[in-house]
C-alpha cells in the first residue's frame, strides 16, 4: 500500500501549527465601528431591527468612542439620525455648522484625537423624501444639484475636523467636485472614502430605520443611482473613475453578497479598499444567534475574516467592538 508523500492534514493537527500557517489574520486594527448619533442628552434609542444597536446622544457617543480606543479600533464611522424636525426638501441641515453631525465631530475629536472619524456624506437623513439627493418634480434624483449640496456637506464636516468624508450617494462626478472644494478650502489632509461600488441592495432596511429615512422613502427605490445587483464589471468602472477624481480609499457595499466584487477591486487597483458589513447582514447573524441557531462569536469572526481574505483593508461593522474584544481575549 502506498501512502501520500504530502499530507496537508499534518499542519492542521495542532492549534500551534494551524496558527503558524494561517494566511489571513484578523485584528482589531482591521475594524471600523459604526455608530448612529441623535439629539439629546444621556439618550440611547434602541434600533428594533438591529438588536444591540442604538442611536446615541453625543455624550453617550463619547463613551462608545472611548471603548473603541481601548479595544484597539482605529476609526469610528458616524451616521446622523437628526429627527424629522430638521428635514427639508433641499437637505440644508446637512451643512449647518451647528448641526448634529458637526457638533458630534467636534466633541469626539477633542475627546479622542487619536480616533479616526469617518463622516457619511449623503442627504437621505436630511430630506423629507428619504432619497440620497435632491429630486425634481417627477421624483428623479438630480445629479449636479445634488453634488452642490454634497460638497457643502463635506466642507462642513471638514471644517468640524472630520478625518474622512465618505460620499455614499453614488452621484456621477461627486468625488472630483468634493476633492476640488476641499483643496480650495485648505483641507488638504481631509481624506475621501468613496462608496464606489454601492449596490441597490435589499440589505439596507434596518439602517434606514436607524437614520429615520425608511418612512419618508416609502416604496421609493434608489435603483436610478445605486448599482444593479447583477453587475461587477460596472463596479470596476465606478472605482476607476473615483480613483481618477481623487479618492483616497474605495468602498464595496454590501459585504458578504459581494465578495467577488471586493476581490476584483483589490486585485485590479491595489487601492486601500474598505467593505461595509451592512445592517441587514448584522441583523441576520444577530437573529440567528439569538435563536441559538448559530454560534455568534464564531460566525462573526469567520465572516469578518472572509472580508479580509477577499482583499479588504478595513471593515465597517456594527460588530466591530464585540469582535475586537473577542480577538483581544483570544
Among the listed residues 87, 109, 198, 222, the single catalytic one is 198
The string of DSSP letters for 206-220 reads HHHHHHT-HHHHTT-
Among the listed residues 109, 222, 253, 308, the single catalytic one is 253
Q: Are strands 273-277 and 249-253 parallel, antiparallel or unpaired?
A: parallel
Long-range residue pairs from 223-226, CB within 8 A, at least 24 positions apart, any chain: 224/140, 224/141, 225/132, 225/133, 225/141, 225/169, 225/170, 225/171, 226/170, 226/198, 226/199, 226/200, 226/201
Counting DSSP H helices and E strands in the chain, the numbers are 12, 10
Grouping H, G, I as helix, E, B as strand and the rest as coil, residue 278 is coil
297 flagged as catalytic: no
87 flagged as catalytic: no
CA distance 140 to 207: 22
- Measured over all CA atoms, what is the biggest interatomic distance in the chain, rounded to whole angstroms? 79
For the chain, how big is the Rg over CA atoms in Å? 20
Grouping H, G, I as helix, E, B as strand and the rest as coil, residue 1 is coil
Smallest Cα–Cα separation from 102: which of 177, 171, 161, 179? Answer: 161
Contact (CB, 8 A) for 105 and 162: yes
Contact (CB, 8 A) for 58 and 103: yes
- Is 238 one of the annotated binding-site residues? yes
Q: Which residue, chain included where needed, has cell 468613496? A: 194
Instruction: Specify binding-site residues for Mg(2+).
Output: 238
Please give the annotated binding residues, written as ranges. Answer: 238
List the catalytic residues: 198, 253
Amino acid at each position: 500500500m502506498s501512502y501520500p508523500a504530502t499530507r496537508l492534514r499534518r499542519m492542521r493537527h495542532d492549534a500551534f501549527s494551524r496558527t503558524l500557517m494561517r494566511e489571513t489574520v484578523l485584528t482589531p486594527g482591521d475594524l471600523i465601528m459604526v455608530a448612529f448619533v441623535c439629539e439629546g442628552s444621556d439618550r440611547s434609542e434602541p434600533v428594533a431591527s438591529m438588536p444591540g444597536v442604538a442611536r446615541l446622544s453625543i455624550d453617550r457617543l463619547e463613551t462608545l468612542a472611548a471603548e473603541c480606543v481601548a479595544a484597539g479600533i482605529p476609526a469610528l464611522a458616524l451616521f446622523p439620525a437628526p429627527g424629522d424636525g430638521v428635514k427639508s426638501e433641499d437637505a440644508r441641515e446637512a451643512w449647518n455648522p451647528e448641526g448634529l453631525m458637526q457638533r458630534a465631530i467636534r466633541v469626539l475629536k477633542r475627546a479622542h484625537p487619536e480616533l479616526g472619524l469617518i463622516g457619511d456624506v449623503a442627504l437621505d437623513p436630511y430630506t423629507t423624501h428619504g432619497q440620497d439627493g435632491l429630486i425634481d418634480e417627477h421624483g428623479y434624483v438630480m445629479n449636479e444639484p445634488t453634488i452642490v449640496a454634497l460638497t457643502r456637506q463635506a466642507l462642513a464636516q471638514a471644517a468640524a475636523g472630520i478625518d474622512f468624508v465618505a460620499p455614499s450617494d453614488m452621484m456621477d462626478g461627486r468625488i472630483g467636485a468634493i476633492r476640488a472644494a476641499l483643496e480650495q478650502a485648505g483641507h488638504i489632509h481631509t481624506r475621501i472614502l468613496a462608496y464606489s461600488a454601492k449596490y441597490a441592495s435589499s440589505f439596507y432596511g434596518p439602517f434606514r430605520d436607524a437614520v429615520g429615512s425608511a418612512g419618508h422613502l416609502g416604496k421609493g427605490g434608489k435603483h436610478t443611482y445605486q448599482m444593479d445587483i447583477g453587475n461587477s464589471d460596472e463596479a470596476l468602472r465606478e472605482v476607476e473613475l473615483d480613483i481618477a477624481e481623487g479618492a483616497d480609499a474605495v468602498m464595496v457595499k454590501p459585504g458578504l453578497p459581494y465578495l467577488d466584487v471586493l476581490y476584483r477591486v483589490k486585485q485590479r487597483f491595489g487601492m486601500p479598499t474598505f467593505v461595509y458589513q451592512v445592517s441587514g447582514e448584522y441583523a441576520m447573524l444577530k437573529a440567528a444567534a439569538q435563536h441559538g441557531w448559530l454560534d455568534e462569536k464564531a460566525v462573526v469572526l469567520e465572516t469578518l475574516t472572509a472580508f479580509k481574505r477577499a482583499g479588504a483593508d478595513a471593515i465597517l461593522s456594527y460588530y466591530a467592538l464585540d469582535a475586537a474584544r473577542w480577538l483581544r481575549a483570544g
